[in-house]
Chain A
Amino acid sequence: MAKTVLIVDDEPNIVVSLEFLLRQSGYEVHVAADGEAALRQVQAVAPDLVLLDVMMPEKNGYDVCRRIRARPEWSKIRIVFLSAKGREAEMTKGLSLGADAYVTKPFSNAELVARIGELLQERTSPGGA
């Protein structure tokens, strides 16, 4: 079964590219434009990985990450931050809140896909889900 990725970003211009890229890479892709919608989608589709933009109106990426990590049943969901903020302090914060990776914008498509692949591989290989 194809792995599921949820893209959370309020900028349609990046969502279009990411959605296309990940579909081409063989993932099932869902999209949410803000934090609240993201949590609803997580509930509904239980994705394997969430690509999370940090700066969004209302509920930001950090909040969404915290909420996901607060629920034990969602602990296996991989979280990758996508952020236009590149300071070390912000990266540290993201990882401390429980994200698995922090990717700063702009990024290379190929590298992002590789990183996502690694993260989803790690999870399935040792114990076997």
Chain B
Amino acid sequence: MNTRGRLLAWIAGLYGIALAVPAGLGVLLAAGLPEGDSAALMRILEQRTPVLVFGALLLLLAIASAVKWIFGGYVVAAQGLAEQTRLIRSTNAGLRPTARGGQLAGVAAAIAELAEAYRELQQDSESRAAEARSRLEEERNRLAALMSELTQGIMVCNAEGTLLLYNEQARTLFAAADANARQPLVGLGRSLFGLIDRAQIEHAAHRLERSLERGERQPSARLVTVTAAGRLLKVQVAPYLGAEARLAGLVLALEDVTELLGRESQRRSLLQLLAARIRAPVANIRAAAENLAAYPEIEPQRRTQFIDIVSAESNALSVTINDALREYADALKAALRLEDVRVTDLLAYARLRIAGALDVAAELDEVDDELWVRADSYALVQAMVHLAARLREEHGVRKLGLRARPAGRYAEIDLVWSGTIVSGDALTHWELQPMEAGAEQTPLAVRDVLEQHGGEVWYWSEGVGGLRSGGFRFLIPGAERAVAAARVSAFAQSRPEYYDFDLFARGALPAALDEARLAMLSYTVFDTETTGLEPSAGDEIISIGAVRVVNGRLLRNEVFQQLVNPHRALNPESARVHRIDAATLRDQPAIGEVLPAFHHFCEDTVLVAHNAAFDMRFLELKQASGGVRFSQPVLDTLLLSAVAHPSLNEHTLEAIAARLGVSVMGRHTALGDALLTAEILLKLLPLLAERGILSLGQALEASRKCYYARLQY
């Protein structure tokens, strides 16, 4: 029976007793009276009926208010105190209970004192636990740091294909070519099979199992896969061993080989083509020439025929070889691989090469140590060596200086010398020659190298007479090193969320989702901001924010955040809440484009929102425009809070947050509210478990009952 029912029952009971006592007394008295007196009494009573009824009503009022006062001040207040006290123990030791009415204020104060003592005790043990945890966290961070330093993408999954670990590189490799495309997502608890074909992975796993059975050490399998964006990935798969050296999961190392394979096949086919094109003409020449040599007394007509063959075929062969070399140069150009290089290292290498190949002394001066360029260091140094070789051979320059400094987006790299005047035309000539440095030759020219880099080179000179000095200035695009570093540090703060080895233990979900344990499920906790409260009256979503909760952890890295162009004017009242202005929304995609992406983000998870009915009404009205359907189970933190604390009335986000000890930040942005809701969900789950609500089915059922209970109020 609920509180209201009990209240009514008490009032009715007490009132019944209060009426029954005088009525019974009256009957007893009347039973002993003589006939005449009894009739007189009845007459008197009849005459006084209004007074009696009034008295009875007065009595009802008195009893009702007394019972309500006692009930509210003691019974309900005691229940509230009990719930708050349980909360203090289980969730929020900082909570100070209040008693409804005030009759139990003394009890509340006593509980508060006890809570204070308890909190001190708890803080003490917590600080010790935190110390131990931070040591563990440090170890984990070291692992995460190692992962992020690798240039390869790394992913680890369990036997079911659920991702337990990934690094940022893996996520980048699978990222879509353009932001609006529906891409498979890399995320903890998400399936590997969304990213790489299931059959390929199973084949690799099967091969690994066979290798393990044969007792091979360090078995690994390789596969090549194509991402949704069309990148070609080479994947090395190694086993993650569980108990008894059985395959418990897979470790995948990913490398983007799109360009590498393209260049490789280009070179291979060129070589084959070359071999095939040269064999036949050489055979013709050789056969003819050997005949000429072997049969000196050959008739003149034949002799002429053989000589013509030799001459025609060798001419054709020269053309073939020249053409092929030109193609080879193109293939070499494509082979240039630009990487971020520190200029100090680049010039140190150049200095060694110049000194080694040419016997020219090269000195390093004025080099900014923090200067980085995007370059193929080998080709760029070859270009410098080529120019140094020309200077030495044609102008006798035997001493060079190397220096570098930043110049806007570029780095200026100078090859300088003094005392010798070089004509400006010389460089124009030299930069078009195939590069040559000592024994090394290549069909590439300095110009080709610079074009590949998006750089330039020119000659400059300064000073007069014997003090003249000059140099070649290379302008090479700088590397975005600072940006890369900043990005890494942003991730560094939240690194631990890139992996969750506890997922190893998580088996497959039961076939009926209803039976799945709440603690094991993956959730998408979301919130929307809207133009107003009435979707049926034309109000629209202007922002969706969502975050994933997997295996009881809030994954702050795996979020969805998108503003939406509502294609209608904003209501000034709601604009005050969300503080989004119309200009910001103008360039955003429409809801029809956003919902498919959001739907994809939510795949295979339970949806959670605070006052979910509101957000779901918007989603359901709009889902058709996006061609999707949100059919997954939905949990509402408002209802779950009411289920966990039936005696407490306040279930706004702020009230729940305060009660459960969740700090409130960044409210009234969709993502901020989604994050807050997610933290509340994580605090509510153990409270629900205490009430015996462990499965999704139980939570949905309890929410349903609670929803109708609240409707009746």
State whether B283 touches A14 (Cβ < 8 A): yes
Complex: A34 Cα to B118 Cα, angstroms: 100
Q: Is B306 an interface residue (CB 8 A)?
A: yes
Chain A: interface size category: 20 to 34
State how many angstroms separate the Cβ of B272 from the closest Cβ of chain A.
8
Stretch from A63-71, A72-80, A104-112 forming part of the interface with B = A104-112
Assuming the contacts A20-B291, A85-B276, asked whether A106 and B309 have C-beta atoms less than 8 A apart, the reply is no
State whether B286 touches A108 (Cβ < 8 A): yes
Which chain A residues lie closer than 8 Å to B291 at the CB level? 17, 20-21, 24, 109
Which chain B residues lie closer than 8 Å to A24 at the CB level? 291, 294-295
Complex: A24 Cα to B313 Cα, angstroms: 23
Q: Is B288 an interface residue (CB 8 A)?
A: yes
Assuming the contacts A16-B309, A17-B309, asked whether A11 and B275 have C-beta atoms less than 8 A apart, the reply is no
Complex partner residue of A17 from B280, B282, B284, B312, CB under 8 angstroms: B284
**Least CB separation from B295: chain A residue:** A24
Q: Is A84 an interface residue (CB 8 A)?
A: yes
CB-CB contacts below 8 Å: B251-284 with A: 275-276, 279-280, 282-284
State whether B286 touches A84 (Cβ < 8 A): no
Which chain B residues lie closer than 8 Å to A86 at the CB level? 275, 279
State how many angstroms separate the Cβ of B291 from the closest Cβ of chain A.
5
Q: Among A17, A18, A82, which residue has the most Cβ atoms of chain B within 10 A?
A: A17
Q: Is A13 an interface residue (CB 8 A)?
A: yes
CB 8 Å contact bits of A81-117 with B (1 = contact, 0 = none)? 0101110000000000000000011111110000000
State how many angstroms separate the Cβ of B273 from the closest Cβ of chain A.
11
Which chain B residues lie closer than 8 Å to A84 at the CB level? 276, 279-280, 283
State how many angstroms separate the Cβ of A36 from the closest Cβ of chain B.
21
Complex: A105 Cα to B317 Cα, angstroms: 14
Q: Is B52 an interface residue (CB 8 A)?
A: no
State how many angstroms separate the Cβ of B574 from the closest Cβ of chain A.
72
Which chain A residues lie closer than 8 Å to B282 at the CB level? 105-106
**Least CB separation from B306: chain A residue:** A17
Which chain A residues lie closer than 8 Å to B312 at the CB level? 13
Which chain B residues lie closer than 8 Å to A14 at the CB level? 280, 283-284, 287
Which chain A residues lie closer than 8 Å to B280 at the CB level? 11, 14, 84, 105
CB-CB contacts below 8 Å: A13-57 with B: 13-14, 16-18, 20-21, 24
Q: Is B302 an interface residue (CB 8 A)?
A: yes
Complex: A11 Cα to B283 Cα, angstroms: 11
State whether B276 touches A17 (Cβ < 8 A): no
Complex partner residue of A13 from B275, B279, B290, B313, CB under 8 angstroms: B313
Complex partner residue of B283 from A16, A20, A21, A106, CB under 8 angstroms: A106
Complex: A18 Cα to B290 Cα, angstroms: 11
State whether B279 touches A105 (Cβ < 8 A): yes
Which chain A residues lie closer than 8 Å to B584 at the CB level? none
State whether A104 touches B279 (Cβ < 8 A): yes
Complex: A77 Cα to B407 Cα, angstroms: 77
Complex: A82 Cα to B302 Cα, angstroms: 23
State whether A17 touches B288 (Cβ < 8 A): yes
Which chain A residues lie closer than 8 Å to B309 at the CB level? 13, 16-17
CB 8 Å contact bits of B283-307 with A (1 = contact, 0 = none)? 1111110110011000000100110
Assuming the contacts A24-B295, A109-B294, A110-B294, asked whether A17 and B279 have C-beta atoms less than 8 A apart, the reply is no
Which chain A residues lie closer than 8 Å to B294 at the CB level? 24, 109-110
- The 7 A-B residue pairs with the shortest CB-CB distance, nearest first, are A105-B283, A17-B287, A84-B279, A106-B283, A109-B290, A84-B280, A13-B284
Q: List 11 A-B contacts (CB under 8 A).
A: A14-B283, A17-B288, A20-B295, A24-B291, A84-B279, A86-B275, A86-B279, A104-B279, A109-B287, A109-B291, A110-B290
Q: A16-B309, A82-B283, A86-B275 are in contact. List 10 more A-B contacts (CB 8 A).
A: A13-B284, A16-B305, A17-B291, A20-B291, A84-B279, A84-B283, A104-B279, A106-B282, A108-B286, A110-B294
